[in-house]
Amino acid sequence: MAVTKIKPVKSTLSKALDYIENPDKTDGKMLVSSFGCSYETADIEFGYTLSQARDKGNNLAFHLIQSFAPGEVDYEKAHEIGRQLADAVTKGQHEYVLTTHIDKGHIHNHIIFCAVNFVDHHK
């Protein structure tokens, strides 16, 4: 059974995105996808959306981690489950970057999504 946790990203958004997009962890970036933005420029695109926010706050984004037990899923299934989770959480209103890490004994997803939605610019 997957375990999920979420943390706020209050600074260094580009470092957080660089970490989750690491080619050594994501099969040469084959296990990186995004919604509402390009993963290559997500920090810039998140920044633009954040600049349009009606409400200012401390959080730039949220970092959701979804871990699977060893052997529970293969990397393709894990990535699809991560996409379903990201879509359910963001409801098609927030940019996000999804990666699946395969460098440890267990497969896990990282989802970073913008704290401000791009529909009405609310946090």
pLDDT reported for residue 105: 86
Which tokens hold the place of 86?
A: 């990201």
What mean pLDDT is predicted for residues 84-110?
A: 96
Query: Which DSSP letter does residue 50 get?
Result: H
- Distance, CA of 28 to CA of 45 (rounded, Å): 23
76 CB neighbour count, 10 Å cutoff: 11
pLDDT digits (tens, 9 = 90+) for 36-94: 999 999 999 999 999 999 887 899 999 999 999 999 999 999 999 999 999 999 999 99
pLDDT reported for residue 57: 85
Query: Rounded to whole angstroms, what are the CA distances from 98 to 12, 17, 39, 52?
Result: 18, 10, 9, 23
Read off the pTM.
0.95
Query: Rounded to whole angstroms, what are the CA distances from 81 to 12, 52, 67, 105?
Result: 27, 31, 11, 18
Please give the CATH architecture assigned to the domain spanning 3-114.
2-Layer Sandwich (3.30)
Percent of the chain with pLDDT over 70: 99
Active site residues: 19
Query: At residue 101, what are phi and psi to the nearest 5 degrees?
Result: -95, 130
**For the chain, domain boundaries:** 3-114
